[in-house]
Structure 1
Amino acid sequence: MNELGLMQRFADPALFESLDSGEKLIASLITTLTGMGVTFAVLIIIWVAIAIMARLLKVQVPKKESPAPAPVVAAAKAEQNTAATVAQQDAGASNELIAVIMAAIAASEGTEYVNDLVVRKINRTSGSRTAWNAAGTADCIDSRKF
């Protein structure tokens, strides 16, 4: 008679009951390791394929020449002066608002200008909730009603 291997007996429902717990444990570990091995092998193949395609399809985008540092400094000083005059004119405008506006302007200019910006701390201001917060809370509550 042809002797069946452990995995063949493990796969056959009629012969599964004849296996002792040690054989079941070994067959389960073999099945688990085989599945994980195949999964990681496929993931590595996908990773290599993406890396090769990225190198083949890499398009060299010509970089724009960065403007001279002097106009950037002059523009930054002009923005600071403008922000200072706006702050003086509007007593309700706070330093935090000006900082946020300047950060948004710097972010829209490009990554090279954002490198000098550092957000040290964000504090919640006292007062009522913002409209976005109230709308989000109401939307979340409405979605959970029966």
Structure 2
Amino acid sequence: MNELSIMERFADPVLFEQLSKGELVQGALITTMMGMGITFVVLTLLWGVIAAVTKVINGTEKKNSGSTPLAAPAAVPAAAVQNTAPAAPATAEIGAEIIAVITAAIAAMENQSSTSNQLIIRKISRVSGNSTSWSRAGAADCIESRKI
């Protein structure tokens, strides 16, 4: 006579009702361990794929940064440059890449704004404190949303 395993009896609805409490607990534990094991294996594989992709991306960034120089900052319209403080102290504290990003943002804003809304940058300085730029922007958005 062919004896069925505990999992075969656990899977059959008719035989399931005939299982003892110990066999039910054993089947439940086996099912739980199989589910957790499969989940662990899949998460481990996912972690490996992410680590490999990160290495590939970091490798290509290192190759690209060594072969191509940084792009020059975009030109800012004359209206945005007038009445500004000298840039020498600001460039000593802020890197060229950050200045390029700020300049590009100003140029994009100038292209989108109307002629009556002129932007004049007086000073660029690093903000001190433990909060990040994202948290300060979120707090400002929260305050602005309550003014309406």
Provide TM-score, normalisation by structure 2: 0.47
Provide TM-score, normalisation by structure 1: 0.48
